[in-house]
Amino acid sequence: MTGEALSRVAGGIRVALRGVHHPSDDLSLRVVGTASIAIPESRPHVGLTPDGQPWRRVWALPDRLVLEYLDVVTVQVEDDGTVFFDEDLPADVEEHLVYDHVLPLFLARRGAVVLHGAVLGSGGAAIVLSGPTGAGKSTLSAYVAQLGWTVGGDDGAVLSFAADVTVEPTYPTVRLTPDAVQLLDLPVDVGRDVAGKRRTEPGSIATTAWTPTRLAAVVHIQPTDGGAGFTRLQGAEAHASLFAVTFHADLGPGGLLRNVVDRLAVLAETVTVGRLAVPRGARGLAAAERILATVIAEGS
């Protein structure tokens, strides 16, 4: 693989996959190769699947993160942005891990508040669309793009807290399952295959021209066999829902988790937070889009 590092990611970070040229500054997240990685003896943070099975172990050490994706690979991310894998992976799997897992954790470790969700814009305001893997974030994102919304990305939302809370995507792409491609009536060869999904190129569905935009709402989507509906959350319940979708920066020294809790409290108090039930299928997408349009208009 050759070429320039991808520069259009949040936080001024440039990402360079293996074999890609990168500038030698400290703002690059760069994969430099394969090396033996020692598993630390300290207690890890264990990530669980929705059915309670461990899928990832994380060690936050003073100068690096060690990420063990169980039965897949171990990754070491040093604070200067150097990334090692403990074995060679197919290029698409490595790309998926770097953009969708390592990048948001790296940003969080630098003090950013990063939510797992898509970033959608309309009328000068933005929504973060969150939800568990498979809930339909990407499908709904691509659908609203067809209706004229601006899509920043479908995976990570980086928040900034000033007079307003603003948001930008971690990087500009949308990953769609084959079923979603069919549902949205997109060409079957849209984008390229990355870890089992079609990753659209920056600038196709997701814009490369996103600028930090005032955040109006964080919406947690839930597929349903019933009707579409929006339930507003407040107080501790809103905070808990945000905490659950934040890339935690406990992963690092120096009170980063405390900062996350405080920032999420600000978020719960200043933007709309709620759950959106999305009926399955094309009619559900249409109903969800109408609700999102109302939510973003009310928050604008």
Partner 1 sequence: MSADDQAAFRFPQGVLAREVQGELVLLNLGTEQYYGLDQIGADIVTRLTRGPVDAALIALESTYSVDGAVLRTDVEALIEELVAAGLLEATDPR
Interface residues with partner 1 (CB under 8 A) are 45, 234-240, 243, 248, 250, 257-258, 261-262, 265, 268-269
What is the nearest approach in angstroms of partner 1 to the Cβ of residue 53? 18
Nearer to partner 1, 206 or 256 (CB): 256
What is the nearest approach in angstroms of partner 1 to the Cβ of residue 162? 20
What is the nearest approach in angstroms of partner 1 to the Cβ of residue 250? 6
Asked if residue 126 lies in contact with residue 119, where contact means CB atoms within 8 angstroms, the answer is yes
Nearer to partner 1, 92 or 237 (CB): 237
DSSP string, 188-199: TTSSEEETTEEE
Closest of 134, 118, 130, 113 to residue 50, by C-alpha: 134
Tracing tokens 């470790």 back to the chain, one arrives at 109
What is the nearest approach in angstroms of partner 1 to the Cβ of residue 256? 10
Nearer to partner 1, 198 or 239 (CB): 239
What is the nearest approach in angstroms of partner 1 to the Cβ of residue 173? 30
Nearer to partner 1, 76 or 241 (CB): 241
What is the nearest approach in angstroms of partner 1 to the Cβ of residue 242? 10
> Alpha-carbon Rg of the chain, whole angstroms?
19
What is the nearest approach in angstroms of partner 1 to the Cβ of residue 232? 12
Parallel, antiparallel or unpaired: strands 28-34 and 82-85: parallel
Nearer to partner 1, 48 or 70 (CB): 48
Closest of 285, 289, 9 to residue 149, by C-alpha: 289
Strand order in the sheet with 45-48: 14-16, 28-34, 82-85, 73-78, 64-69, 54-61, 45-48
Q: Residue 46 — φ and ψ, nearest 5°?
A: -105, 125
Nearer to partner 1, 44 or 212 (CB): 44
Nearer to partner 1, 195 or 257 (CB): 257
Asked if residue 120 lies in contact with residue 149, where contact means CB atoms within 8 angstroms, the answer is yes
Q: What are the beta bridge partners of residue 115?
A: 157, 246
SS3 183: helix
